[in-house]
Amino acid sequence: MLAILVMLFTAEGVSPRQATLDVQEHIESKLPKLPTFDTPEQWAKYADQLRTEILDKIVFRGEAAKWRTFASKPVFGETMTAEGCTVQKLRYEILPGMWIPALLYTPLKPTAKMPVMLAVNGHDRDGKAADYKQIRCLNLARRGFIVLNVEWFGMGQLRQAGNNHGSLNQIDLCGSSGLAPFYLSMSKGIDLLLTRPGADPDRVAVSGLSGGGWQTITISSLDTRVTLANPVAGYSPFKVKIRDHLKDLGDSEQTPCDLGTLADYLHLTCLRAPRPTLLTYNDKDACCFTAGYALPPLLDAARPVYKLLGKPDNLRSYVNSDPGTHNYGKDNRQALYRAIGDYFFPGDKAFSADEIDVTADVKKAEALEVEVPKDNLTLNDLALKLAKELPRSGATREKVRDVLRLPSLKVTKIGEGFVRLSDKWTVPVRITETEKSTKTALVLNDAGFGADKVTAKRLASEGYRVVEMDPWYFGGSKTTSHDYLFALLLGCVGDRPLGLQVAEVNALANWAKGNVHVVAVGPRTSLIALAASAVDEKAIGSVEVIGSRATLKEVLEENRVMQQVPEVFCFGLLELADIKQLVTLTGPRPVTFVDPGERHTKELGELKNYRVGKSAK
């Protein structure tokens, strides 16, 4: 065995919190600012442009642009009778093959003009059958509303593995907006409501708790048909979440790719102006969005806009103290009824904000089941469908760099156990040399280099100077908490986790003076290595991947989600390039797949630079 002459760096030199601090500072520096305005005309022009850009560039990218104009035809089912109203089961199609189950509440004595309410819900496994939601819908129907109680992905009847909210990023991978189905569920629900006989287009309300609060602010800020919005404990500004209140960091739909290049939730709140808006929060909310810190910055941002537009009283807030937990209980519901009375029934002395006891009409989930097709598409099904014809032809290095949003990084500091890249990113490293080291190998490992007891020794014995590194999110570069949520935030502000990781690998390869042999152990770092070699034809001389996937489509077939493999879900990557295209772009430099399977041979066997290796004994 060769003696190790130099152990230059060890992992002990890097603080466990460094990766978190790096990403927090980076994201914070990129958050969009809210401009100030001197006239209503300036605001109107800005608001119209911002809505258009968010819808065109974020919500309806790729194939989603076609879904936007898809004609939804509801299918109605059983009608049940409750006191003062009917409850009808129905489903409506938001894009070809994807149906949303819902319940339609209609007053028994309809009038010529009735207000409508889209009732959305959050992360409640009972979905549309949640008792507090049924109570709200029944109370509104008794007050003359037409109410649509819609199911949400991953909840109630849509609680399938393929509708995990992290699955929406699979659609992103295919180059289409995974946010679009979430938005379409709401916008086409409003379409449906406004086609009902007697629906009043001047009185359109949306409300929901938690994830339903997120849905409320999203649809009501971007769809100007919504005249009254009441999000309940549903969101806070990005800046609030990043450092001091990590519990607010949200799922994939709350942190959609590239939204943060245009707007924060401060902006969305302001986009409600001058329409009536009630922001409801809870003062002891242990889940998220506690009133004391979440509400003030939203009011501070939106009040000047409402005042500028001459409607300061149209922005309200309510803080629930009893029970004060994460709830949409009676106290919060009555706050909604009061706002409805003031804005939709002004001067009507017969209108009461006191909740009606509708307990007798609250039904079990089984009684509210809506018939949906057995082959109803899930988010995962939709991604698989999109992926069938991908990737398209024409992958080039430049196009891959663009998809990766590849930053330019270089080594600017060498420390004890780490290097700093462009004075922004800290990368833990360990370098091993022997007396026979004549070439350089750069090693990545899904488990972090601290867990690798084999690869470095093997390469050192083969005459390599071994540079082990942990790119962002791996090993010593993993954030100390809320890890994948920071990956979502990176994508939200316009970066790509995979692009950052690739840039780090290329920076180290260039620092090592080029012609580096890159070795990756595990499917995730294998993708990083292959993408790094595809975009940098000078610094990387050859690649060896151990445990690499044969195709990115395996991620969809296995229904992997953002929580498991965040770097894979790079928006539009599969639309442009799969593993095969990355290997092709690396050519003529060799790429060795260690112990590949039959699928590798099928997908890659024809490539001239594809090599087969065997694992070391």
Residue 615 is predicted with a pLDDT of 87
**What number is the average pLDDT over the span 323-333?**
98
**CATH code reported for the domain at 37-387:** 3.40.50.1820
User: At residue 3, does pLDDT exceed 60?
Assistant: no
Q: Tell me whether residue 181 is exposed, middle or buried, using C-beta atoms within 10 angstroms of its C-beta: 0 to 12, 13 to 18, 19 or more.
A: buried
Q: Do domains 7-25+395-612 and 37-387 have the same CATH topology?
A: yes
Note the CATH architecture for domain 7-25+395-612. 3-Layer(aba) Sandwich (3.40)
> What is the C-alpha separation between 64 and 59, in angstroms, rounded?
8
pLDDT bucket at 5, cuts 50 / 70 / 90: very low
pLDDT bucket at 2, cuts 50 / 70 / 90: very low
Residue 313 is predicted with a pLDDT of 98
Packing angle between helix 330-344 and helix 131-142, nearest 10 degrees? Answer: 30
**What number is the average pLDDT over the span 292-303?**
98
**What number is the average pLDDT over the span 47-75?**
96
Candidate from 5-9, 169-173, 370-374, 571-575 with smallest mean pLDDT: 5-9
> What is the C-alpha separation between 432 and 573, in angstroms, rounded?
34
| CA-wise closest residue to 469 among 488, 489, 452, 490 | 452
Residue with tokens 């041979």: 601
User: At residue 389, does pLDDT exceed 80?
Assistant: yes
pLDDT bucket at 8, cuts 50 / 70 / 90: very low
pLDDT tens digits, 226-260: 999 999 999 999 999 999 999 999 899 999 999 99
pLDDT tens digits, 184-234: 999 999 999 999 999 999 999 999 999 999 999 999 999 999 999 999 999
pLDDT tens digits, 552-566: 999 999 999 999 999
pLDDT tens digits, 568-592: 999 999 999 999 999 999 999 999 9
Residue 617 is predicted with a pLDDT of 61
Domain boundaries, the chain: 7-25+395-612, 37-387
User: At residue 174, does pLDDT exceed 90?
Assistant: yes
CB atoms within 10 A of CB 245: 17
User: At residue 1, does pLDDT exceed 90?
Assistant: no
DSSP string over 505-569: HHHHHHHTTS-EEEEEESHHHHHHHHHHHHH-TTTEEEEEEES--S-THHHHHTT--TTT-GGG-
Residue 434 is predicted with a pLDDT of 86
CB atoms within 10 A of CB 111: 9
The tokens for 157 are: 């009847």
Residue 148 is predicted with a pLDDT of 98
**What number is the average pLDDT over the span 98-113?**
97
- CA–CA distance from 358 to each of 142, 250, 334, 497 (Å)? 10, 33, 14, 49
| CA-wise closest residue to 495 among 260, 268, 266 | 260
| CA-wise closest residue to 196 among 258, 241, 144 | 144
Map residue 95 onto helix, strand or coil: strand
pLDDT bucket at 7, cuts 50 / 70 / 90: very low
**What number is the average pLDDT over the span 147-166?**
97
**What number is the average pLDDT over the span 366-381?**
98
**What number is the average pLDDT over the span 318-338?**
98
Map residue 81 onto helix, strand or coil: strand
User: At residue 4, does pLDDT exceed 80?
Assistant: no
Residue 616 is predicted with a pLDDT of 76
pLDDT bucket at 453, cuts 50 / 70 / 90: confident
CB atoms within 10 A of CB 108: 12
Residue 15 is predicted with a pLDDT of 81
Residue 14 is predicted with a pLDDT of 74
pLDDT tens digits, 248-292: 998 999 999 999 999 999 999 999 999 999 999 999 999 999 999
User: At residue 178, does pLDDT exceed 90?
Assistant: yes
**What number is the average pLDDT over the span 424-449?**
94
Are the C-beta atoms of 210 and 155 separated by less than 8 Å? Answer: no
Residue 10 is predicted with a pLDDT of 42
> In the 8-state DSSP scheme, what is residue 472?
T
pTM: 0.96
Residue 397 is predicted with a pLDDT of 97
pLDDT bucket at 13, cuts 50 / 70 / 90: low
Residues 6 or more apart in contact with residue 366 via CB below 8 angstroms? none
Residue 212 is predicted with a pLDDT of 98
